[in-house]
Amino acid sequence: MSRPIRIIGQTATWLGLAALVAALAQGPAFSPVADGHGELRLSMAHLAERLVPCRPLTEEERLALPPTRRVTEICERGRSPTVIELRLDGELLVRETVTAAGWHNDGRAYLVTTFAVPAGEHRLRMSLRDTPRDEGFDMEKEFTLRLESGDAALLEVGDGDVRLKAPDRH
């Protein structure tokens, strides 16, 4: 093969590499959320009730403990699973039973999840059960959610409080 053709071949190779890199390094574009939608994030870090309530120690039990460790009550470690339900305009978004974290299920119940929500105004209802019962809820809250396309709202469920943080344009 003659030298000019070899040089053309080599140039074409490196241009080909550059073209391949250029084609995929900055695109094609990807849309994480559909057009006309926003995102609702649910973040829960909630300490549920104990499965067995704490009870006061009797005087005999207290005296049996070392002097520096004489606490007034004793608590079993297990905590109730947390049931959380989220409805948007009456439609169920999520219903999840979250086990308390830790080897002994004595930590918080954690849940992070996201939902694509059409832009506009919505009624958001959150129901939560965190006691050792089989039916019903211990906490229910309702919010008005206003989202524009590309907005992200956060529903944060803490130990005792629930708050909705949405972009405020007013």
Partner 1 sequence: MKSDAGGTRPGPAARTLARMEGLFSRAFGGENNPFHHLGALTIFFFYVALVTGIYLFIFYRTSLEGAWESVEYLTREQWYAGGIMRSLHRYASDAAVITLGIHLVRELVRGRMKGPRWFSWITGMPLVWIVIVFGISGYWMVWDQLAQYVAVSTAQLVDWLPIFTDPMSRNFISNEAVSSRLFTLIAFIHLVGLPIVLVLGIWFHLLRIRYPRINPPRKLMLGSMAGLLALSVVFPVFSHPPADLDRVPVSLDIDWFYLAIFPLQAVTSEGVVWALGTGGTILLAILPWLPPRKREAVAEVHLPDCTGCGFCAEDCPYGAIDMVARTDGRNFELEAKVNADLCVSCGICTGSCPSSSPFRQREPLTTGIELPQFPIDRLRREIDQERGRADNSILLLGCDHGPTVDALASDDIHTLSLPCVGMTPPASIDYAMRATGYAGVVIAGCEGCDCHHRLGERWTQERIERIRQPALRKRVPRERLLSVWLKVGQEKRLASQVEAFRNTLEESRKDDGDKNPQGADAREVVQ
Residue 118 within binding range of partner 1, rule CB under 8 A = no
CB atoms < 10 A from the CB of 16, how many? 10
| 154 lines the binding site for partner 1 (CB under 8 A) | yes
Q: How many CB atoms are located within 10 Å of the residue 40 CB?
A: 24
Is residue 158 a contact residue for partner 1 (CB under 8 A)? no
Nearest distance from residue 112's CB to partner 1, in Å? 4
CB 109 within 8 A of CB 98: yes
Q: Which stretch binds partner 1 (CB under 8 A): 83-91, 100-108, 122-130, 137-145?
A: 100-108
In the three-class reduction of DSSP (H, G, I as helix; E, B as strand; rest coil), residue 82 is classed as strand
Report the alpha-carbon distance of residue 137 to residue 126 in Å, rounded: 10
Contacting residues toward partner 1, per CB under 8 A: 1, 5-6, 8-10, 12-15, 17-18, 20-22, 24-33, 35, 38-39, 41, 43, 45, 101-102, 107-108, 110-112, 149-152, 154, 156, 165, 167
